[in-house]
Every structure is written in C-alpha cells, then in structure tokens.
Amino acid sequence: MKRKFVQIAALCLSAALLLALGGGKASAALLSDPNGRIIRVGLHYGTGAMEGLNLLNDVGSGFRFGYYDSANQFVELSSTQQKAISVVPTVNVYYGTYNKYTSYHTALTSSAVAVGEYHLQLPGTYSTFDAAQAAASAYSGGFPAYIGGVFYARIGNYITRDKAVAAQSTLVAQGVSTALAGTSKYGVSVVITGTNTILFQYDDQGRGTGLGIEPVSVNGEKCTTLSKGCLYNGGFRFERINGGKLTVVNIVGFEDYIEGVVATEMSNSWPIEALKAQAVAARSYAVSLGSKHSAHHFDICDDTHCQAYTGQTSAGANTRTAVEQTTGLGVLYNRKPAQSFYYSSNGGASESVSNVWGSNQASYPYLIGKADPYEPTLNLKNTWERTFTSSQIISKLLLAYQVTAPIVSAAVTFYTDVSNPKTITFTDSAGKNFSVSAARVYQSLGLPSFRFGFKGAGGTSQPVPTTPSVDVTINDSAVVDKLAGLYAIDGKGNISALGGDVYVITDSGTTQLGQSVDQGQGQGQGGQSAGNAWSSSATMVNGSITFAGRGWGHNIGLSQFGAKAMAEQGYTYLQILQFYYTGITVGYM
C-alpha cells in the first residue's frame, strides 16, 4: 500500500507507553470488611432447595445454633460439639444417597435411618436452652426445641402418628404426660449426620428469621465449613419459604465473599494483577446488583446468574493477596459503582451492551465494544460450533415471524463497529427473508459467545464491509495501518483507546484509518482461526446450518482471559480495568 505521512494533533500512544500510567496499590487490609459489611449469598433455593444438607467443621469445635437478626447479626441460642451435622425440614426424611448426594431425602423410604415428623412434647416452657435440654435429656431421644421464640422439651421422632401415639401411651403408663407435636410448615431440625438423633429443633412460625448456624472456631480464628464439596467462611441460614424445602443462604463478610468469587471465577495460579482486576470488578458488580434475590430473602446467588461463588474452595495465596491489596475498591463511573460485567473470553473483540442486550447505551457509557489485541495473544482453543435444523431455528428463533417454508440459508447482513455480527438474515425456500438481530440469535439459540459467523461448508466467504486500511507514519517514526494499541490524549488530558471512525490529516487530504480487524477471529470474514473457516453466510447442508464462533460469554465488559493476557504483558490491574471499561475510575465504594 502507498505510505502516507501524517501529523496528528492528538498524541497517539502505543499500548507499551501506557505502562507508565499504572495505578498504585490499595493499602493491604484484613479479609474481613473494614466496614463490617455482610452479604447474603443464596446457595440452594427455588428448584434447588434442599431436603437435607450436611455441614462439617473438622478444624473447629462444632457449631452454634441461633438466628440472624434484621442487621444480619448472629444471635446464639445453643451450641454443640458435634462436628458433622445435617439440617432437615420437619417432614419424614430418610438417610442415604439420592441424585448422587448422600444426605436426607423424602424419597428413600426404605432406608433404615429415618427422621420422623411427629414428636412428643413435655408440659410447660423453659426460659433457656440449658433448662429445656436438661428436661429433655431425662428421656431417650429427648431434645430442646425453640418454637416461636419459646423453648420446649421434646422427645423422639416418629414416621407415623400411630407410632407417636403408641410411644405416648408408654410414657403415660410411666406417669409422664406429653402432648403430640406434629409436623410444622416452617420447622427445621438439626441431626447428627447419618443418624436420627435430633440435636435441636427450630421453628420461626413464618416470621422469616430462619435457623442460623455458625461454626465454632478454635482460639477465635476464622474456620471454614464443608458442605456439598465446598468450603465456606461465615454462617448459614436455613429457611422454609412458604413451607417448602430448605432455602440455604451463606451469611458471610463482604471481602470473604469477594475472595470466593475471585477464586471461583479465575485460577489462583493466574497473575496477581489479573486477579486484582477480577476482585475490583466483582466488588462493584455485587454492589450494583443490590438485593437481586429479595424474593428468596438473600442478596446474590452463587452461580453465573449473578457471580460464580464456591466459597474458599479454590482460594489460595494469590487470590487472598489480590483481595487484600484491593480491599474496598470497585469500578466507578461518575463516582457510582458500575455494573462491571465480565465473562470468560471475547474471541478478539468485546461488544457494546446496546448490541448484545438492547440496553440504552447512554445508561452504560463504560460498556463499549472494542477490538481486543491482548486476548488473542494467548492462542486460546476456544472456537466452537453449534448446528441447528430448519425446524429448530424456526421454533427457537422465528416462531413469531409466521415462517411457512423451510429455512434454506442464513447470512450476516450487518456488523457492529468491532466486526461482531449485528443482523442475521434467514431465507426460506420461498425466497422470503427474515432479518433478526444478532443479539436475539445469540440469546434464543444459546450460542456460547457473541462473536460468530457460520461454518464455511455450503456458504460463501465475504469480508466484513470495512474501510480499506492505509499505512500511516506517525511523527516520521512508527508505521501503523490499524487502530489496535493506539490511544489519544484530548485537550483535557483524557486518554482513550482509538476506535470507531478515526480520520487523520495527510499530505493529500483527510483519510480514514482502518479498523483493527483480525481475520482469524471468526467474525464472519471467512478467515482462518485455529484451522476453522468462518463464513459470513451459509446454506443448508444435510438439513442444517452450523454457526461457528470464538470466545465464551456475552462479550460485555472485562474479558477474564484478556485480563490474564494483559497481566502477563506487564499491565497493572488499573490499566486492565481502564481498557475494558471505558472512562471509569477505580475507588472506594
């Protein structure tokens, strides 16, 4: 290409020069939040609510029982030195393995170990747990119960009412009067795991407090609880919402929660600056969500619907350091916590939130798509393919379009500024076209990422319509022909990555500088990526069309593998965040 010489009023900086802009570290702090912030994390709820859940404290000295008040502060009622306990609703449950989990289930009626829903209750009430326990311990199978804020002493557990009445008659013969206590809509029992021995029973009678359980530590040090293969800090709340199964919530310090997210979302072996970027993004994202799951009485869930979280299961020295060195810091826009979305991999370009989810872009000015020159340096093997038949495309995507003939072809007809698909047009055998946003295709068909085209077979390879690039020499030195790694400083000293339509003044007039388009990233250009050809269009082959793409996730905000790549190249967590979130600052929330 003909070389053009240019002088640009705004100074263009290479990515390497931006290293000098790095931010300083936040002061180290303990993992417990300095402001005492607590977050309620839903572990099991809705269709995932439990019939029985095991807890193990093998490094401490048992558990405390009580409840959490309106300020999420634990109020202790009693304790046990038992290290392995299980929590069950007060219905008939049976110990054994069901759906690959060994605990208590209603379906295992043939099990030799059963916890029955009927009990016998001694007369009167008690002012303390110790008094109720003393009365109950005089009888085999006796246990204290806290019902509606009052202590009682109860005896035994029976599968049927008849068995409970028979036991009651035996006690009457011994001169002991009891009342029959049947199943309760909100009752919860704590048992020694693998037995039918009840340690404590709790019933808030629908007041919404639930049963609180916290591990007892040794010498006051923090300890973790093992549950369903995961290690958790903090305590747990068990509640039967509307009388259902157990909704289980981890009540945990905010910074402990953030470490759990970082350790789950990234690997402890990753560079510390990438982990710090993840910690800061996770913090502001959690705060921006507020109490997203208030209907289930907690703030945030433990899966990708909110943020993936498995407690301290995968935590290590690096994740701990990343949290300590960024304690309290979040991504801010106009001094407010940003919705700092992140995902695994973008395949070469992030995307604007308006193109993926149809959001008002003005409300999220920091979630702007841009070409990513860093992530591709990792050479990730994250290409994917998904094949759909005509009927699947119609039923999943085009049902509202009243399609009457089979789909025979598809094509990307418009692209976004970063060469991700924007509009997909499907054509049926009658020649009728149906244009659908790429966002709808991505969501309705459940594609792994937003960066996609079609597998080459049966299709054509047409390049994305872009302005032809030109070679430009800046200040008689560096030669560039695309926007990757170029930044500009405006008149106020603000630094931003160049993207979109960029023009330069040359010796022969004004020329548009070409976009950074990686022909190997699968944006429908027919380029090669890890040996796969991706086309801008495809026709039906053997009754189906195959979508092909690269990356994993929604492509909005921070790429986790991109953060890893930047950290490996020497960038700081602040630079990583400022690259993926446009115009943000990092500060205390």
pLDDT in the model for residue 18 = 28
Tell me which long-range contacts 476-480 makes (C-beta under 8 A, separation of at least 24): 476/5, 478/14, 479/3, 480/12, 480/513
DSSP states along 34-75: TT--EEEEEEE-GGG-BS-EEEE-SSSS-EEEEEE-TTS-EE
Q: Please name which of 228, 190, 184 lies closest in space to residue 211, comparing C-alpha atoms.
A: 190
pTM of the complete model beyond 0.85: no
pLDDT in the model for residue 519 = 29
**Are 38 and 256 a contacting pair, CB within 8 Å?**
no
Q: Please name which of 505, 529, 509, 525 lies closest in space to residue 517, comparing C-alpha atoms.
A: 525
pLDDT in the model for residue 502 = 53
**Are 524 and 441 a contacting pair, CB within 8 Å?**
no
What does the chain come to in residues? 589
pLDDT in the model for residue 419 = 94
Domain ranges of the chain: 40-253, 255-377+558-588, 383-465+520-550
pLDDT in the model for residue 59 = 87
pLDDT in the model for residue 350 = 97
SS3 159: coil
Task: Tell me the angle at which helices 317-324 and 254-265 cross, rounded to the nearest 10 degrees.
Answer: 130
Task: Tell me the angle at which helices 560-568 and 573-580 cross, rounded to the nearest 10 degrees.
Answer: 140
pLDDT in the model for residue 36 = 83
Run means of pLDDT, 10 residues per run, the chain, 589 residues: 33 30 30 73 97 94 95 95 97 97 98 98 97 97 97 98 97 96 94 98 93 91 93 97 95 97 97 98 94 87 94 97 97 97 97 97 97 94 94 96 94 96 96 96 97 72 38 48 50 48 47 38 31 75 94 97 98 98 97
DSSP states along 490-532: -TT--EEE--SSEEEEETTEEEEEPP---TTS-SSS--EETTE
SS3 309: coil
Half-sphere exposure of 77 (CA within 13 A, CB side): 29
The arrangement of strands across the sheet holding 433-437 comes to 433-437, 421-428, 407-415, 537-539
Residue found under tokens 């810091």: 329
**Are 547 and 537 a contacting pair, CB within 8 Å?**
no
**Are 289 and 261 a contacting pair, CB within 8 Å?**
no
Q: What residues have CB less than 8 Å from 124, skipping those under 6 apart?
A: none
Task: Tell me the sheet residues that pair with 412.
Answer: 424
